[in-house]
């Protein structure tokens, strides 16, 4: 039977409305499934947010597990215009008097002034009879210069060759400067710089010394090494302005402009290497802040509002409650049984009765300066080497159990929600198919009923017409 609805033409009934109401009854399971999906999405979103906050907490925990966080050193210079310094965790606490006698310089060569930088060299004075192609070598790298190249082309070719020098043009002079400072990197004619066809000689980069009758580079700045004295120890040199081997664990960086390299001037600075308690303090404060953020979020998601009588999305969730209890236990329990510092409270980290963590940085700094090893062990002690585990080690292990991909509690829970939501969506599709079949059945049934009644009404009209016709004929015959 075709999908035809007569809309109550025969019966006077609103069959479309009746079918719609009947179909709505059939759709009730869909509304229930959609409501369940909405609740699952909210719960899933809450756990995703919990996972995000715990992931940030684990990052803060990682810093507390590192020995470098507590053993950090800082190096301060009395005159940073002369020297700055950095210190590794292994460096000794000491003061170093640094005198800078000379700084490292790059070698700089300059050619003769040409008429302009855009004329082909074959057309310039001094290049008569130049070959079509000419080769030069800089630090073993071969560079081809043609007779049609301009000064600009030559400069570009040298830079493109990446031969350890920078080329530039200053007032139509070609200038070459070594990339690296120090005498070991200077260009020496017929060694690290070779001019087979006399192009560099024509440009004035190299020239004949009339006194020695040797071809030499035309230097406008000589390559030089840096030289410093440290605590009276003289003759400490470097090809650059960084000294990383003079004092173990300390690197001194000399300002290239600290002194003039003419041997007539020196510059002085005092460098002090000391414990850097600020790094550990900052790391602990970051942990405290993230811990409070995570716990506050969990409080909000497990809360029950008595005034509105509404429960938060994770209210009554046993996993969420156990998570909160375990985190509090990890930061309040004793780390070890002996020693003056065996709890977080002993180093300035307190938990109030509402579960909010606070940090006394002054107390922590004082304890860290006096007993750095004990403070460090409270956070990063390992059972294999220390016989007990520090708070950061314990919490990191617990958070890993919660968040590890595929096997962690939270990822598995999120997977469960995804699976359940997918299943409910499949159920909705099944119900929708059944509802559509039911709707079609109602349409067919009502259409059949309308057609039947319409046919009956048509037959009744015909019969009434016949009766009336018969009545009229009888009356006529009696007249």
Same domain, 299 and 437: yes
User: pLDDT by residue (tens digit) across 86-135?
Assistant: 999 889 999 999 999 999 999 999 999 998 899 999 998 878 788 999 99
Q: Is residue 160 situated within a structural domain? A: yes
Q: Can you tell me the distance from the alpha carbon of 1 to that of 367, in angstroms, rounded to the nearest whole number?
A: 90
- Give the mean model confidence (pLDDT) for residues 206-217: 79
Q: Is residue 443 situated within a structural domain? A: yes
What SS3 string covers 311-368? Answer: ECCCCCCHHHHHHHHHHHHHHHCCCCCCCCCCCCHHHCEEECCCCCEEECHHHHHHHH
Same domain, 339 and 415: yes
- Give the mean model confidence (pLDDT) for residues 302-317: 85
Same domain, 125 and 48: no
Same domain, 156 and 233: no
User: pLDDT by residue (tens digit) across 192-205?
Assistant: 999 988 899 999 99
Q: Is residue 280 situated within a structural domain? A: yes
**Is the pLDDT reported for residue 175 higher than 90?**
yes
Residue 2: what pLDDT?
A: 42
**Is the pLDDT reported for residue 4 higher than 50?**
no
Q: Are 167 and 193 in contact (CB under 8 A)?
A: no
What is the Cα Rg of the chain in Å? Answer: 45
Q: Can you tell me the distance from the alpha carbon of 355 to that of 311, in angstroms, rounded to the nearest whole number?
A: 21
Q: Can you tell me the distance from the alpha carbon of 97 to that of 85, in angstroms, rounded to the nearest whole number?
A: 12
Q: pTM of the entire structure?
A: 0.67
Same domain, 187 and 84: no
180 burial level (CB within 10 Å; 0-12, 13-18, 19+): middle
Same domain, 54 and 77: no
Number of domains in the chain: 3
Residue 129: what pLDDT?
A: 80
Same domain, 169 and 242: no
| Domain encompassing residue 238 | 73-104+224-275
Residue 170: what pLDDT?
A: 96
Question: 221, 243, 265: which is the final residue of a domain?
Answer: 221
Q: Can you tell me the distance from the alpha carbon of 73 to that of 85, in angstroms, rounded to the nearest whole number?
A: 11
- Give the mean model confidence (pLDDT) for residues 371-379: 92
Q: Is residue 474 situated within a structural domain? A: no
User: pLDDT by residue (tens digit) across 9-64?
Assistant: 445 556 677 667 766 777 778 888 888 888 889 999 999 999 999 999 999 999 99
């Amino acid at each position: 039977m075709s999908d035809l609805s007569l809309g109550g033409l025969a019966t006077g009934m609103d069959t479309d409305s009746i079918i719609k109401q009947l179909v709505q009854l059939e759709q009730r399971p869909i509304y229930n499934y959609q409501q369940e999906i909405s609740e699952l999405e909210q719960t899933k979103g809450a756990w995703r947010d919990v996972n995000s906050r715990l992931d940030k907490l684990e990052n803060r925990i990682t810093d507390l597990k590192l020995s470098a966080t507590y053993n950090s050193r800082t190096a301060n210079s009395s005159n940073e215009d002369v020297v700055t310094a950095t210190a590794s965790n292994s460096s000794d606490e000491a003061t170093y008097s640094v005198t800078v006698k000379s700084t490292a310089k790059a070698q700089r060569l300059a050619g003769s002034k040409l008429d302009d930088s855009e004329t082909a060299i074959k057309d310039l004075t001094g290049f008569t009879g130049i070959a079509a192609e000419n080769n030069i070598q800089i630090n073993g790298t071969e560079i081809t210069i043609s007779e049609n190249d301009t000064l600009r082309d030559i400069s570009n070719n040298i830079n493109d060759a990446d031969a350890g020098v920078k080329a530039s043009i200053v007032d139509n002079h070609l200038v070459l400067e070594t990339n690296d400072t120090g005498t070991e990197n200077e260009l020496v004619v017929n060694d690290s710089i070779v001019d087979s066809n006399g192009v560099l000689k024509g440009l004035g980069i190299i020239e004949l010394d009339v006194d020695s009758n040797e071809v030499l580079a035309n230097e406008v700045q000589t390559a030089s090494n840096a030289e410093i004295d440290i605590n009276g120890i003289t003759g400490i040199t470097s090809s650059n302005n960084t000294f990383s081997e003079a004092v173990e664990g300390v690197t001194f960086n000399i300002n290239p402009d600290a002194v003039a390299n003419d041997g007539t001037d020196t510059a002085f600075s005092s460098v002090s290497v000391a414990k850097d308690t600020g790094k550990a303090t900052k790391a602990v404060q970051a942990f405290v802040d993230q811990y409070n953020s995570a716990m506050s979020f969990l409080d909000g998601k497990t809360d029950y509002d008595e005034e509105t009588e509404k429960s938060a999305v994770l209210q009554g969730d046993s996993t969420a409650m156990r998570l909160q209890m375990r985190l509090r236990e990890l930061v309040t329990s004793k780390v070890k049984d002996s020693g003056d510092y065996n709890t977080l409270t002993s180093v300035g980290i307190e938990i109030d009765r509402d579960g909010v963590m606070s940090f006394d940085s002054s107390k922590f700094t004082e304890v860290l300066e006096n007993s750095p090893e004990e403070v460090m062990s409270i956070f990063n002690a390992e059972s294999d080497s220390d016989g007990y585990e520090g708070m950061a080690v314990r919490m990191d292990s617990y958070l890993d159990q919660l968040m590890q991909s595929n096997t962690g509690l939270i990822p598995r829970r999120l997977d469960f929600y995804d699976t359940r939501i997918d299943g409910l969506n499949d159920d909705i599709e099944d119900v929708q198919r059944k509802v559509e079949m039911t709707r079609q059945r109602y349409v067919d049934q009502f259409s059949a009923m309308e057609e039947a009644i319409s046919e009956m009404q048509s037959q009744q009209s015909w019969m009434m017409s016949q009766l009336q016709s018969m009545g009229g004929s009888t009356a006529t015959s009696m007249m």
